[in-house]
Amino acid sequence: MCRLTPIAGNKVNQPLQGILERYHLDLAGAPNFLRILARSPAAMGAYTAAEQALADGQLTPGQREQIALAVAEINDCNYCLVAHTLTSRDAGLSDEDIRLARTATAHDPKTAAMLRFTQAVVLQRGDVRDVELETVRGAGVSDFEVIEIIANIALNIFTNYLNIVSNTEVDFPMLHPEFKNPRAAENTCGLSYENNSHRP
């Protein structure tokens, strides 16, 4: 059961309405995550502003989705795993790309380095070693991109924690992880879906 109550579309107050209009959002038919977030206009405004700013950044939509998958796997946030599995497909990722991202790797060497760095930042709470920073730079990742990776990690940790605390009800097709250990990053995992016809 959801522990935080999603806001109804007809209960939008003036501050929230301003945010929704600014970012062209509509709570009618919105996923449970956004309707829970909308309980706090301040949090909603912070999230939407950060999401829009990072979407205009240097990382590609696919790389941002891969980071989101890696972070959600570490934090064991099933709601975010489901959501980002679906939005990853919209960003052009294959099922294999999605599976690899959940284990913090990728076929592309630069993206793989970015995801290993993402994993280190999350698991070590930012206290990465010099060699880890040197390794990601050695793969061609600029300091500009390192900062964006960290910003995307922070945004995804927020959404993970909100959905975990809320126990947000999954309102789109369910993904079933084969393992539940958030630190099993070296292992592979399969994905199965009940339905692939909907998007969050």
pLDDT value at position 150? Answer: 98
Confidence of residue 195 (pLDDT cuts 50, 70, 90): very low
User: Does 21 score more than 90 pLDDT?
Assistant: no
- Lookup: tokens for 48: 């939407």
Confidence of residue 160 (pLDDT cuts 50, 70, 90): very high
pLDDT in tens, 34-56: 889 989 989 989 999 999 999 99
- Lookup: tokens for 161: 């924690």
The DSSP-derived string for 132-179 is: HHHHHHHTT--HHHHHHHHHHHHHHHHHHHHHHHHTPPP-S--B--S-
CB atoms within 10 A of CB 16: 20
**Residues above pLDDT 70, as percent of the chain:** 84
Its sign, for the CA torsion 129, 132, 133, 134, is positive
- Lookup: tokens for 66: 């891969």
What residue spans define the domains of the chain? 9-55, 61-166
Q: Which amino acid is at 178?
A: E
CB atoms within 10 A of CB 59: 21
Output b/e per residue, 80-119; b: 16+ Cβ within 10 A. bbbbbbbbbbebebeeebbbbbbbbbbebeebbbbbbbbb
pLDDT value at position 9? Answer: 66
What gap in Å lies between CA 28 and CA 131, rounded to an integer? Answer: 48
Q: Is 62 helix (H, G, I), strand (E, B) or coil?
A: helix
* CATH class of the structural domain 61-166: mainly alpha
Confidence of residue 18 (pLDDT cuts 50, 70, 90): confident
User: Does 190 score more than 70 pLDDT?
Assistant: no
Output b/e per residue, 22-32; b: 16+ Cβ within 10 A. eeeeebeebbb
pTM: 0.82
15 phi, psi to nearest 5 deg = -60, -45
